[in-house]
Amino acid sequence: MAYQWRIRHKLLLGLGLVEGLLGLLLAGTLIGLLSYHWTMKSIDSKLGELGAAEALRETVARLTPLDPTKPEQEQELKNGIVEGRGNLAGYEVRLADTLLRRRDRSGAHYEQLAIEAIQSYFNQLEAAIPNRPLFEAGGTSSEAGGLEGQYKAKVLEAVRHLVDAATDLRNEINTKLWWNIHDSYRPYRLSMWIVLSTSGVGGLLMVSLLRFFYGWIFNPIRDLERGVHRVAQGDFEHRIELHSGDEMEELAAAFNDMTNRLDEMYRDLAHQVNERSRQLVRSERLASVGFLAAGVAHEINNPLASIAFCSEALESRLVEILTKAPEDGEIITKYLRMIQEEAFRCKAITQRLLEFSRGGERRREPTDLADLIQSVLDMVQHLQNGKGKEIVFEPIPGLMAWVNAQEIKSVVLNLVINALDSMDEGGRLTITLRQHDRMAEMVFTDSGCGMSPEILENIFEPFFTRSRTGKGTGLGLSISHRAITQHGGEIEATSPGLNRGSTFTVRLPLQPAESMKEETLGRAAA
């Protein structure tokens, strides 16, 4: 499930796990430190109590051999009682400090009972010391000896109880010290278990997180880097495949979209460069043809003019000759007129060659394309190559284009004749006239022999021809392409393949090229 999360969610998950482990480590450490701190403080307080209790026990232990009936030891016994009470008071101060600082979790009930018992035994001991004046004022020696024995027995019993009580108090403190140390092992073990287990789990978790993050982040970044490197080397067809379900996958998808657009732009640019190169070569060839045509026309035009002039002069002088031989006049006049007509016909041809070589702009005006196409069809329907073939025209009435009618009529005528030549009897030519995006489109679709990719590649090249009839110079489509281009239009040829027909599409502007340019600049400025 986490594999399909967003990167920020994955990072938050990893951060949460790391913080949880750090929290456990901190908790375990704090438990151990707090337990150690409390144990040390408790031991410190109990050691103070133990010192005071031990001093009390030693003091009362020194009272054991003293004889209260002996004057020199009686005072020492009293001094020992005072010292013992002082030690007991010091222990009470230590115990009160321990309880005030809460360093004894079990309380001090036994210690309080022991203090009361020791104070009671000290009172008994003081009461057991004989009253020296009364003791010395006793009766006979046997009575004095009896009193001495009684006092001595009471003192020894009180001292023994004091020693036992002080010893029990010391042992109780030692026992609590042992239990405090023993109780400290539990939080110590808990702390060690938390720290060690968390450290182990943390180590495994860090290794797992590194592995997961390597798969979540570093691998996609590596794939992106490789993809960018391949695209930088020109491989625009390379696609980055990521299925991480996060921002990396979105980045890869965006990069693939960008690569698709770059690939399309590169292909379109390559196509445009290829087409412009072909047009440049085509223009150069046509320029060469035009230069050749100009030279030929110039060289032929003068002799033709001389022939025409001479034939006219001969015709004017034959009047005198024909009076002598009238039977030959009609024949001579007929042949002279034929010489003149053919000479002027050749002169018209050379004039057109000169116009083609100059390539100048001819007068253009709004022209009804439907009428223009129909006029061409009316002319070609009587041609020999149009018999047995169907021509279907689908016009749009009133579609006006800014063209030179004679040039466009030549283009339409050339395309129609080529289509008729490419079809057998029963073939069909469909001409569709329509408007698209401020351009007029004339589509010529035939069911003829079709064209291969190689032919389509060179169809508009000068002198390139694959006519089935074996006729043609290969200049018709080149001249048509030039005329359409000069009009600011386009002409393109397509074919599904050999014997599957062909389609020629001609696009012409509906407005003058200057008006379209000004309109485009106006929209760009707006």
User: What would the mean pLDDT of 404-408 be, rounded to a whole number?
Assistant: 86
pLDDT over threshold 80, residue 32: no
In a domain, 380, yes or no: yes
Report the CATH number that the domain containing residue 477 is assigned in CATH: 3.30.565.10
| Mean pLDDT score across all residues of the chain | 77
Lowest mean pLDDT among 87-91, 262-266, 495-499: 262-266
In a domain, 293, yes or no: yes
Same domain, 407 and 524: yes
Same domain, 342 and 429: no
Which one has a higher pLDDT value, 1 or 197? 197
Same domain, 497 and 523: yes
Confidence bin at 469 (pLDDT 50/70/90): low
**238 SS3 class:** coil
User: What would the mean pLDDT of 435-456 be, rounded to a whole number?
Assistant: 88
Residues whose CB is less than 8 angstroms from the CB of residue 138 and which lie 6 or more positions away in sequence, other chains included:
144, 147
pLDDT over threshold 60, residue 105: yes
Same domain, 85 and 106: yes
In a domain, 181, yes or no: yes
φ, ψ (nearest 5 deg) of residue 433:
-110, 125
Lowest mean pLDDT among 28-37, 84-93, 280-289, 394-403: 280-289
Same domain, 441 and 406: yes
Same domain, 158 and 248: no
In a domain, 496, yes or no: yes
Q: How many domains does the chain have?
A: 3
Same domain, 185 and 243: no
Lowest mean pLDDT among 22-31, 285-294, 365-374: 285-294
Lowest mean pLDDT among 67-76, 318-327, 438-447: 318-327
Chain center to CA of 256: 10
Q: Of 360, 385, 400, which marks where a domain is finished?
A: 360
In a domain, 104, yes or no: yes
Lowest mean pLDDT among 116-125, 192-201, 314-323: 314-323
The per-residue pLDDT for 499 is 87
Which one has a higher pLDDT value, 236 or 195? 195
User: What would the mean pLDDT of 193-202 be, rounded to a whole number?
Assistant: 82
The per-residue pLDDT for 507 is 92
User: What would the mean pLDDT of 231-245 be, rounded to a whole number?
Assistant: 75
Mind giving me the DSSP string for 24-91? HHHHHHHHHHHHHHHHHHHHHHHHHHHHHHHHHHHHHHTTTT--TTSHHHHHHHHHHHHHHHHHHHHH
pLDDT over threshold 90, residue 444: yes
Task: List, for residues 155-194, the tens digit of each pLDDT value.
Answer: 788 888 888 888 888 888 888 888 877 777 777 787 788 8
Q: Of 184, 219, 254, which marks where a domain is finished?
A: 219
Q: Of 360, 386, 414, which marks where a domain is finished?
A: 360
CB 462 within 8 A of CB 285: yes
Same domain, 374 and 393: yes
The per-residue pLDDT for 323 is 67
Backbone angle region of 483, left / alpha / beta, with phi > 0 → left and psi within -120 to 50 → alpha:
alpha
In a domain, 141, yes or no: yes
Task: List, for residues 498-519, the tens digit of each pLDDT value.
Answer: 888 999 999 999 887 655 444 4
What are the distances in angstroms from CA 63 to CA 57, 79, 399? 10, 10, 142
The per-residue pLDDT for 524 is 44
The per-residue pLDDT for 313 is 66
The per-residue pLDDT for 303 is 64
Which one has a higher pLDDT value, 202 or 284? 202
> C-alpha angle 97/98/104, rounded to 5°?
160
The per-residue pLDDT for 140 is 42
In a domain, 226, yes or no: no
Same domain, 419 and 518: yes
CB 86 within 8 A of CB 60: no
User: What would the mean pLDDT of 350-369 be, rounded to a whole number?
Assistant: 68
Which structural domain range is residue 474 located in? 362-526
CB atoms within 10 A of CB 26: 13
Same domain, 352 and 368: no
Q: Is the pTM of this model over 0.75?
A: no
Same domain, 240 and 290: yes
pLDDT over threshold 60, residue 97: yes
Confidence bin at 526 (pLDDT 50/70/90): very low
d(CA 383, CA 417): 9
Of the chain, the percentage scoring pLDDT greater than 70 comes to 71
d(CA 505, CA 490): 8
Maximum average pLDDT range among 138-152, 280-294, 441-455: 441-455
Same domain, 354 and 366: no
In a domain, 228, yes or no: no
CB atoms within 10 A of CB 388: 10
d(CA 270, CA 459): 19
The per-residue pLDDT for 446 is 93
Of the chain, the percentage scoring pLDDT greater than 90 comes to 6
